[in-house]
């Protein structure tokens, strides 16, 4: 019998993905897995062209990858505040006319559009990248995702936590990212492999906290709180209801062309 080629897995290196990816980085799956650290949007593109088999993708992309589907029951969700996805500005939200957006996370950009539309706001969006000072020099507000959002000084800006705003709007958690498979990539055992990787991350969380704190130059208690209180990695019924509501609203606003498969 011909052996299957190695499973090609795309991993996001943002701090919030470390507990999910930890086992893969440590060699779970052995030579049967080849993992690569990539930006979220790149992972989605490479699943679409089938140069990756499995990847952690922004959830908006679940509706855009031809033939792709969510795999397993793990992802990156927030029940209340997420802290790492923020709209920051130096003026009240109602006065914002232009937003600089880091488009590495297309889900966060789509979520921001939905949240602003629900408040009757329709500012212009322009691609930009941190540092936040440069983003705010040219625009009224800036969408920060990942590590830059965790480091922002909230005492100096207006800050809207997008997960908290979604909870206020819908009463549901928000799912930012999920494991997805390209057609043919969802082989037997893939969900179990991803679960084993996360289990390794849970076991070694103190080490993850220490290394993440050193890399991000943030206090360990801040990272421990972030990993254990602000992020939820298992997607249960409430998280899946929040995901379905996000896709329903995205379709209604023309951000996707069709709902993804269940």
**Length, in residues, of the chain:** 262
Higher pLDDT among residues 142 and 13, named by residue: 142
Q: pTM for the complete prediction?
A: 0.93
Which pLDDT score, from 0 to 100, does residue 262 have? Answer: 66
Q: Report the share of the chain in percent with pLDDT over 90.
A: 78
Higher pLDDT among residues 103 and 1, named by residue: 103
CATH number among 3.30.200.20, 3.40.630.10, 1.20.140.10, 3.40.190.10, domain 7-77+173-252: 3.40.190.10
Q: Report the share of the chain in percent with pLDDT over 70.
A: 98
pLDDT tens for residues 56-78?
999 999 999 988 899 999 999 99
Domain boundaries defined on the chain: 7-77+173-252, 85-170
pLDDT tens for residues 194-252?
999 999 999 999 999 999 999 989 999 999 999 999 999 999 999 999 999 999 999 99
């Amino acid at each position: 019998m011909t052996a299957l080629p190695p499973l090609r897995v795309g991993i996001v290196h943002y701090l919030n993905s470390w507990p999910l990816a930890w086992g893969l980085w440590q060699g779970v799956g052995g030579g049967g897995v080849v993992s690569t650290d990539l930006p979220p949007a790149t992972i989605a593109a490479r699943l679409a062209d089938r140069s990756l088999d499995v990847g952690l993708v922004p959830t908006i992309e679940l509706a855009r990858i031809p033939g792709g589907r969510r795999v397993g029951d793990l992802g990156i969700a927030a029940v209340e505040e997420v802290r790492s996805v923020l709209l920051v500005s130096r003026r009240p939200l109602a006065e914002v006319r232009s937003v600089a957006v880091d488009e590495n996370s297309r889900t966060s950009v789509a979520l921001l559009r939905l949240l602003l539309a629900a408040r009757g706001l329709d500012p212009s969006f322009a691609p930009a990248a941190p540092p936040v000072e440069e983003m705010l020099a040219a625009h009224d507000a800036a969408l920060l995702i990942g590590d830059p959002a965790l480091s922002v000084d909230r005492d100096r800006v207006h800050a809207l936590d997008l997960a908290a705003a979604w909870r206020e709007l819908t009463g549901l958690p928000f799912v930012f990212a999920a494991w997805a498979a390209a057609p043919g990539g969802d082989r037997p055992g893939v969900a179990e492999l991803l679960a084993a990787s996360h289990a390794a991350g849970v076991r070694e969380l103190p080490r993850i906290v220490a290394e993440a704190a050193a890399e991000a130059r943030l206090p360990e208690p801040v990272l421990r709180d972030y990993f254990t209180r602000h992020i939820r990695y298992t997607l249960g019924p409430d998280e899946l209801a929040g995901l379905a509501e996000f896709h329903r609203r995205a379709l209604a606003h023309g951000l996707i062309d069709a709902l993804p498969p269940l």
